[in-house]
């Protein structure tokens, strides 16, 4: 029965060289890339990027409009609160004046 044989340095170097040669052969076996195909891919990528930028710009505009709308609504609420506070002050002053007038009678 044969036991496990530890690979020597030379064995590991030869295995690495064979793997490298096989990888290079596989790479060389690939057909050359057609320049028209490359140009089409680049054009498609540019088109996709432009569409994505348009979508981003649209989303940013929508977000800005939404923020402005929320800000306008908040200002309207604040103005309404201030208006009611002014009305409350007028009512309070009127009650105070009525009490003073009642005491003077």
Q: Which contacts of 35-43 are long-range, i.e. CB under 8 A and separated by 24 or more positions?
A: none
pLDDT at residue 79 tops 70? yes
DSSP class of residue 1 equals: -
Average of per-residue pLDDT across 12-41: 93
- Return d(Cα 81, Cα 89) in angstroms, integer: 12
Q: Is the pTM of this model over 0.85?
A: no
Residue 7 CB contacts under 8 Å (≥ 6 apart), including other chains: 15
Give the chain's radius of gyration (CA, Å): 41
| Average pLDDT of the segment spanning 12-39 | 93
Average predicted confidence (pLDDT) for the chain: 90
Q: Is the pLDDT assigned to residue 87 strictly greater than 90? A: no
Q: Supply the pLDDT for residue 1.
A: 54
- DSSP conformational letter for 32: P
Output the six-digit token pair for 102: 């009642």
Region 28-57 average pLDDT: 94
In this structure, what token pair is assigned to residue 70?
């929320």
Dist. CA 16–CA 13, nearest whole Å: 5
The band of 85, judged by pLDDT with boundaries at 50, 70 and 90, is confident
If one compares 3 and 66, the residue with the highest pLDDT of the two is 66
**Domain-by-domain residue ranges, the chain?**
34-104
């Amino acid at each position: 029965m044969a036991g496990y044989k530890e690979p020597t340095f030379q064995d590991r170097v030869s295995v690495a060289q064979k793997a490298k040669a096989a990888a290079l052969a596989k790479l060389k076996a690939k057909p050359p890339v057609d320049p028209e195909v490359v140009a089409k891919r680049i054009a498609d990528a540019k088109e996709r990027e432009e569409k994505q930028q348009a979508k981003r710009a649209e989303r940013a505009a929508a977000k800005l409009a939404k923020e402005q709308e929320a800000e306008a609504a908040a200002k309207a609420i604040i103005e309404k609160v201030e208006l009611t506070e002014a009305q409350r002050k007028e009512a309070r002053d009127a009650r105070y004046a009525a009490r003073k007038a009642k005491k003077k009678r």
